A and B are shown apart, each in its own frame.
Chain A
């Protein structure tokens, strides 16, 4: 299990301090315990979260968004016509509802296709595990070299 403290400290240790997102129940422990030394903006839409995090990133502050994979659909235009072409590397932390085909019907199609959407856009990703510290480190390095967003996918039951 990954603790809430380890979740936030792994991100802070890589210098990521600006967050925005739209909640998912998988994020519940994380979002209900946001440390006071990070900024978290409750965005009304996932693409607004991406825009806010992108603006912070332009200003030199490392940033991430926390969204559900259903919201991946809402950020595809932002990714393809902003982050990927201007090279603005925002970390995408995306919960993976519908993983393994086990979830309510509205999550099954996106659950099956989440990795494919990321692959098609050329966005690297890893599955979040107990070793979250190493995964965020990898993501930070990957973003520094490729200058584009990287995704970390969070299944239920990890945090």
Chain B
């Protein structure tokens, strides 16, 4: 399955009030292209901070579902957030990892995730629900299930290295991203 297809499935299944934080690079750009909405917070930089920021918000907005979308590269950069999320046990927190085994935004250099099962790390730390999807069908099924199950939940999607061609940069500046997100809270 292709990454933008997974992002489309996420956009098509989340509720109006659900909040998304997406990691730097192509993941945010593809999400912006396939499913932009004010409830999406695109991290233009800050690789490794997507899940921590999402987790902080999940703690203070515990009635809203908060979804952090990381890549394998950004997840590996700041793995320590996985045990923290498991320990904090926020029921409204879902961590999605789109794992294509490369640093796609910088030219496709390999990450080490081909040899490391990130969901096993989540399992070892005590995440409540852990799923690994290899097909669009199973991803959608797991996502639907996890969106209505108390978390913290971890959903890994093995995706192709393919990325959308000539995808535009996010046309919103950081302040605009933040301001419309805060209005949507």
Chain A positions within 8 Å of B, measured between CB atoms, are 18, 20, 39, 41, 43-45, 47-48, 50-61, 63, 77-78, 80-82, 85-88
Contact = CB atoms under 8 A, between A and B. Distances in A.
B182 A48 contact: no
Nearest to A61: B60
Nearest to A75: B49
Nearest to A82: B46
Contact of B53 (A39, A43, A45, A58): A58
Name the residue among A41, A53, A87 with the largest chain B CB count within 10 angstroms: A41
B21 to A, nearest CB: 8
B57 A55 contact: yes
B175 interface: yes
The 9 A-B pairs at the shortest CB distance, nearest first, are namely A55-B56, A51-B52, A81-B45, A52-B56, A55-B57, A59-B60, A44-B80, A82-B46, A55-B53
Contact of B52 (A39, A55, A88): A55
A56 B48 contact: no
Interface in B52-70: 52-61
Given A51-B56, A52-B52, A56-B56, A85 B174 contact: yes
A96 B45 CA distance: 28
22 contacts: A18-B56, A18-B59, A18-B60, A41-B84, A43-B52, A43-B84, A48-B84, A50-B52, A54-B53, A54-B56, A56-B57, A58-B178, A58-B185, A60-B60, A60-B182, A78-B49, A80-B45, A82-B49, A82-B53, A85-B174, A85-B175, A88-B178
Contacts of B57: 55-56, 58-59
A45 B55 contact: no
User: What size tier do the contact residues of chain B reach?
Assistant: 20 to 34
Contact of A53 (B44, B51, B56): B56
Contacts of B174: 85-87
A83 to B, nearest CB: 9
Nearest to B87: A42
B138 interface: no
B46 A56 contact: no
Given A54-B53, A55-B57, A58-B53, A82 B181 contact: no
Contacts of A39: 59
B109 to A, nearest CB: 19
Nearest to B49: A51
Contacts of B185: 58-60
Contacts of A60: 60, 182, 185
